[in-house]
């Protein structure tokens, strides 16, 4: 009887440790700093800036007041991917209104990047990453 309790306790402890490990791993992946490079435009109607890469991918960026002084330039941004536009300062009520009016986001993927550091690369953007002012 005592051995059975010990085994049950050990199994319960191992399961709890495994669950904690998975949560910690997901948290560290979500908070992993990464770098993206492209042409910065915006802010768009939601108040977010848009980064367009040389490969033509575009996504919303925000969370750094210095972005406004880099619009129209090629930049290298360091930060983290976040789940919600509100985490980058996006006006989500404007986003909901725009979605219902237009039904699409004009080529801008619903990915959000929270900027912690900005590096200026060039005063001009390459052809494929050209800034067009406000996008969306």
- Output the six-digit token pair for 131: 């800034």
Per-residue pLDDT tens digits for 86-98: 999 888 665 555 4
Statement to judge: residues 74 and 21 lie in one domain: no
- What pLDDT, on a 0 to 100 scale, did the predictor assign at position 136? 35
Percent of the chain with pLDDT strictly greater than 90: 43
The alpha carbon torsion through 114, 119, 124, 126 (nearest 10 deg) reads: -70
**The pTM of the whole model exceeds 0.75:** no
CATH number of domain containing 118: 2.40.50
Q: Which domain holds residue 72?
A: 34-129
Within the chain, strands assigned E span 34-41, 49-52, 58-62, 74-82, 109-122
Judging by beta carbons within 10 Å of its beta carbon (0-12, 13-18, 19+), is residue 40 exposed, middle or buried? Answer: buried
Q: What is the pLDDT of residue 135?
A: 36
Which residue, 53, 106, 69, is CA-closest to 95? Answer: 106
First to last CA, the chain: 67
> 97 and 77, same structural domain?
yes
Q: Examine residue 135 and state whether it is found in any structural domain, yes or no.
A: no
The pLDDT assigned to 18 comes to: 52
* Nearest Cα residue to 40 out of 112, 129, 119: 129
Same domain, 69 and 98: yes
- At residue 103, the pLDDT reads 44
Say whether both 40 and 11 belong to one domain: no
Q: Look up residue 122 and give its two tokens.
A: 């060039």
Same domain, 63 and 115: yes
Asked if the model's pLDDT at residue 125 lies above 60, the reply is: yes
Do 72 and 50 reside in the same domain of the chain? yes
* Inside any domain, residue 78: yes
Q: Look at residue 19 and tell me if it is in a domain.
A: yes
Does residue 122 share a domain with residue 63?
yes
Would 18 be classed as within a structural domain?
Answer: yes
Please check whether residue 47 is in contact with residue 90, taking contact to mean a CB–CB distance below 8 angstroms: yes
- Tell me which residue has tokens 């009016």: 101
**Band of pLDDT at residue 61, cut at 50, 70 and 90:** very high
| Overall number of domains in the chain | 2
Largest CA distance in the chain: 76
The predicted structure's pLDDT at residue 39:
96
* Residues 20 and 54 both lie in one domain: no
More confident residue, 60 or 11: 60
């Amino acid at each position: 009887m005592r051995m059975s309790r010990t085994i049950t306790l050990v199994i319960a402890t191992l399961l709890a440790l495994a669950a904690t490990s998975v949560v910690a791993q997901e948290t560290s992946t979500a908070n992993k700093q990464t770098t993206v490079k492209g042409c910065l435009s915006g802010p768009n109607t939601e108040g977010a800036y848009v980064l367009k890469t040389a490969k033509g991918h575009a996504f919303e960026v925000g969370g750094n007041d210095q972005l406004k002084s880099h619009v129209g330039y090629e930049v290298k941004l360091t930060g983290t991917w976040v789940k919600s536009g509100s985490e980058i300062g996006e006006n989500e009520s404007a986003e909901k209104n725009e979605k219902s009016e237009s039904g699409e986001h004009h080529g801008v993927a619903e990915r959000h990047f929270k900027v912690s550091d900005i590096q200026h690369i060039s005063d001009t953007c390459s052809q494929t990453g050209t800034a067009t002012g406000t996008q969306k």
